[in-house]
Amino acid sequence: MTTSTGHPTPSDDAESVFERAYRLIETELGGRRLPPEPRTWLDDLARTRRYKTALITAVWNTCFPSGVVEACRVVEAVYPYLDPDGLCTDAALTAAWNVLEPDAHTWPEQLQDERRRFTSKCLDRALAEANTAVTDHA
């Protein structure tokens, strides 16, 4: 019969049950944790698809495109210009603006400025909505 003695450690309320179980396994059985499984290109593809789908839905709901096809075109135009945190850049706004308002160059400058600010707010709201949707379902 094998016995083991455990030395009580002060309880750490921040430690989860999962962490405690791992610590016990490491201590009692001499085990070690397995590293997390490496990410594959398929994981990245699935995450990108999930994000683009959420962004298309958000653009459709907030940016007032003429249809779902135009919402898809906006997302495809904007996506490469997003910053690493998924936030809007000036290049992304310009890409969205070119899809949503293709004839804006014929408008008076004041109207262009107003509509561009409106598009910027709509795009920021759509990106925030998509980022939240992806984070909630991750």
Mean pLDDT throughout 111-129? 93
* pLDDT bracket for residue 1 (50, 70, 90): very low
- What is d(CA 64, CA 70) in angstroms, rounded to the nearest whole number? 9
For residue 3, the model assigns a pLDDT of: 46
With respect to residue 119, please indicate whether it lies within any of the assigned structural domains.
yes
Residue 29 lies in a domain: no
Residue 100 CA to residue 78 CA, distance in Å, equals 11
Provide the pLDDT for residue 20: 78
Query: For residue range 47-68, what is the model confidence (pLDDT) as tens digits?
Result: 888 889 999 999 999 988 989 9
User: In whole angstroms, what is the distance from residue 79 CA to residue 72 CA?
Assistant: 10
| Residue 123 falls inside a structural domain | yes
Asked if residue 50 belongs to a domain, the reply is: yes
- What is the domain range of residue 123? 41-136
What per-residue confidence (pLDDT) applies to 5? 46
Kindly state whether residue 6 falls inside one of the protein's structural domains: no
Q: Residue 51 falls within a domain, yes or no?
A: yes
Supply the pLDDT for residue 4: 45
- Strand segments, DSSP code E, in the chain are none
What pLDDT, in 10s, does the model give residues 77-119? 999 999 888 888 999 999 999 999 999 889 999 999 999 999 9
Q: Is residue 107 part of a domain?
A: yes
How many domains are contained in the chain? 1
The angle formed by the CA atoms of residues 72, 75 and 80, to the nearest 5 degrees, is 140
Q: Is residue 23 included in any domain, yes or no? A: no
Condensed to tens digits (0 to 9), the pLDDT of residues 9-33 reads 555 566 777 777 767 777 777 666 6
Q: What is the pLDDT of residue 96?
A: 93
The pLDDT value recorded for residue 79 is 92
